[in-house]
Amino acid sequence: MNELAEFLAYLQSERGLSPHTIEAYERDISVYLSRSEKKWATKEAILVHLAYLKRQNYASSTVARAHISLKVFFRFLAREQLLQEDLSLQLDTPAVWQLIPEVMTEEEVDELLKAPAKDTFRGARDHAILELLYASGLRVSELCTLKLQSVDKDSVKVFGKGSRERIVPVGKRALAAIDHYLLLFRDRYQGEALFVTTRGNCIDRVAVWRMIKKYAKSVGIVKTISPHTLRHSFATHLLDHGAELRVIQEMLGHATIATTDRYTHINSSRLQEAFTNYHPLP
């Protein structure tokens, strides 16, 4: 398609975007064009496509990225007079909260944390991982690189993005789960990694992701769950219970308060939902 080829050339020559970013734009728009066929240059086709992505349970971030890709694409076509109408003006920019994965309720988190059997190596390890993720809001990459010496009596030492070190407080429940795993099962393996596989290797993020999916399914959670869901649930629940945004920023290891501020959008949307559902005259 000539329009797509011209758009990609524009991104490369005038915008100077990286090959990875250009590939993402090309992939998003190619999928849209292949599904929309001859009716691609309409607002209705765009909305149908985005609705399709949501129905297929694509991550909110994927849907938002496709939305943005299409907005930039149609803005370019209008500016270059390849289309008479600027369809990008008819599409609202995705709200910031849409970029955040789904958040579990406190009841769902409690069910998830109770799912592993604690009398086996794998179950005790998984229980400690789940408890720690929710108690600390760690990124899964941070959890996988924890050492035995990373855990203190009331906190964990974490090296986050940019190798920035931070101390994250951890509650007694999560520390008790870690102690149970360490005292009964971890001592049979060598090495410094805190969480290991049955072969003694450091656990990786894919294994953690699969583990969480398995337990979520076992307790009947139908939401799209990942390690990051626990991180976002941690932050949202703190905010719900009155924690200051600056405190949450420090615990999550965000470089700027603007990143943490996204959680106020989730909080506001939950307030609106509660009002609509429960107020007698909504």
Question: Are the beta carbons of 98 and 64 closer than 8 angstroms?
Answer: yes
Q: What is the CATH number of the domain that holds 68?
A: 1.10.150.130
Mean pLDDT score, 242-256: 82
Mean pLDDT score, 80-94: 77
Q: Which domain holds residue 89?
A: 2-94
Return the active site residues: 139, 161, 228, 231, 254, 263
Q: Is the pLDDT of residue 61 over 70?
A: yes
Mean pLDDT score, 162-171: 84
The verdict on 73 and 185 lying in the same domain is no
* Secondary structure class of 84 (helix, strand, coil): coil
Q: To the nearest whole number, what is the mean pLDDT of the chain?
A: 84
The verdict on 159 and 261 lying in the same domain is yes
Tokens 């139908």 belong to residue? 222
The verdict on 267 and 148 lying in the same domain is yes
The verdict on 142 and 266 lying in the same domain is yes
What is the number of structural domains in the chain?
2
Q: Is the pLDDT of residue 100 over 50?
A: no
Segment among 93-102, 166-175, 232-241 with least mean pLDDT: 93-102
* pLDDT score, position 77: 92
Q: What is the CATH number of the domain that holds 247?
A: 1.10.443.10
In total, the chain counts a number of residues equal to: 282
The CA-to-CA distance between both ends of the chain, in Å, stands at 48
Question: Are the beta carbons of 130 and 116 closer than 8 angstroms?
Answer: yes
* Secondary structure class of 65 (helix, strand, coil): helix
The verdict on 125 and 76 lying in the same domain is no
- Planar angle of CA 206, 207, 211, nearest 5 degrees: 115
Q: Is the pLDDT of residue 275 over 70?
A: no
Give the pLDDT confidence of 195-229 residue by residue, as tens digits: 999 999 999 999 999 999 999 999 999 887 889 88
